[in-house]
Structure 1
Amino acid sequence: MLTPRHQALLATLAGMTVGVAVFGTVLAINGNFSGDDPAATKVVASQPTQTPTSGDGLQADSLQFSSQPFGADNAPATAEVPSTWKSSSGGTRPRYVDPTGVWQIRFDTRGSSQSPDQLVDNRARSIEERDLKVISRDNGTLIYTYTDQTRGPRMGLSSFRPSEDGKRTLVEITVGGRPQDEAGLRTVLQRATDSLQLSAGAGDTRPN
């Protein structure tokens, strides 16, 4: 005959057995115990951002270039720009922007009756940006820095390419980025300048 103490012990063991059985049943229903549920074990990897950090400069040796057509129908032009930089429009004033929106290059093939040096002086006087600092204005190219209200420190290089006699300007090429991008921006500008092809009818349609 079982004493009250033995009866209590048996009741406790029975309760534990039922609890284990129920717990195992719940796990089996949920399918999580064995880890067979792909949704439960899937790890979502964070996607790296393409936007350069403040310390990263544009690396010239990482750029690949392709020739892009633009200009007027009666005065077409071509030049090489970084392959991943895209333009939403062509015409005489196209602008190519990298996917992050940090760097860009634009062309103006309307030309001008003024010389490159005159246009450099005009551009330097017309820029209305905070903290404007002119770095140089040699050989028809204006290099400057300023502070953009939303994007912070910026750098621009505007190059005005002369006619054969040097008295007129055939095309303007401007690249933009940040001060730490200077080496890469110079490479983009030089590549566009060296590869620029203008038709015989280009130039002198700008009103200045």
Structure 2
Amino acid sequence: MLTPRHQALLATLAGMTVGVAVFGTVLAINSATGQDSAQTVVTSPTPTPTPIASDGLQPDALQFAAETFGTEREPVTAEVPAGWKTSQSGTRPRYVDPTGVWQIRFDARGSKQTPDALLEARQGSIDEPDYKVISTDNTTLVYTYTDRERGPRMGLSRWIAAGDSDRSAVEITVGGRPQDEAGLRAVLERATETLRLPDESDDRPS
């Protein structure tokens, strides 16, 4: 039989045990809710935004790289936007950007006709919805039309003579949308300035 003194001691020990349990529970709750403790915040890096094609092709965003096409005996070189790829080689390569919105095409087969004659023939042969000629300056046909799947489109086709002759050596065509006009003109001019034909020396000004 417990004496009153022993009963009081047991009651005290029981109270301390309950108190420790309650204190541990409070600590667990505070830890879960972040009270009286430092929280660690993990922030994921923001990915670099992908350029939006609807913004238009901007000239100052373009970088260029030299590409060689044509034939082994008569290679042709010109600069095209870096990253634009072609699935075909030879005399009629077509380089397309990764989004498929913009492209540049070369035709290095040559022709006995003059650039002006070829421009006139092309101008009258395009059969596309909403076809409209914008200009025909500098042996360059600039036009717009509506593609049945891709919507409004713009094309710029330029014919370049072979040296001092009147015959056409190369046709360069760039394509995109009307809002890409500034960028398309920059691509066309760069290709024209850097074009190297087989019978030309390397000191042609660029």
State the TM-score bracket (shorter-chain normalisation).
0.7 to 0.9
* CA RMSD in angstroms, aligned pairs only: 3.0
Alignment of 1:83-162 (within 5 A): 83-162=82-161
Change (3 A) 1:112 1:58: same
Q: Percent identity?
A: 61
Q: Which runs of structure 1 show a deviation greater than 6 angstroms over 4 or more consecutive aligned residues?
A: none
**2:74 is matched with which residue?**
75
Distance 1:96 1:80 in 2: 11
**Long gaps (5+) in structure 1:** 1-20, 25-40, 202-208
Q: How many residues align?
A: 177
8 A contact 1:117–1:139 mirrored in 2: no
AA in 2 matched with 1:155: M
Which has the higher relative contact order, 1 or 2, with Cα contacts under 8 A spaced 6 or more apart?
Answer: 1
Change (3 A) 1:111 1:155: same
Give the CA deviation at 1:140.
Answer: 1.1
Task: Specify the SS of the correspondent of 1:199.
Answer: coil
TM-score with structure 2 setting the length: 0.73
1:54-104 deviations in whole A, cap 9, x for unaligned?
xx1111001000101100121101100000111112110000001111100
Task: Specify the SS of the correspondent of 2:130.
Answer: strand
Task: Name the larger-Rg structure.
Answer: 2
Give the CA deviation at 1:163.
Answer: 2.2
Task: Specify the SS of the correspondent of 1:191.
Answer: helix
**Long gaps (5+) in structure 2:** 1-24, 29-41, 201-206
AA in 1 matched with 2:152: P
AA in 2 matched with 1:62: A
Give the CA deviation at 1:164.
Answer: 2.9
Range with greater deviation from structure 2 (158-167 or 147-156): 158-167
Give the CA deviation at 1:165.
Answer: 3.3
AA in 2 matched with 1:188: V
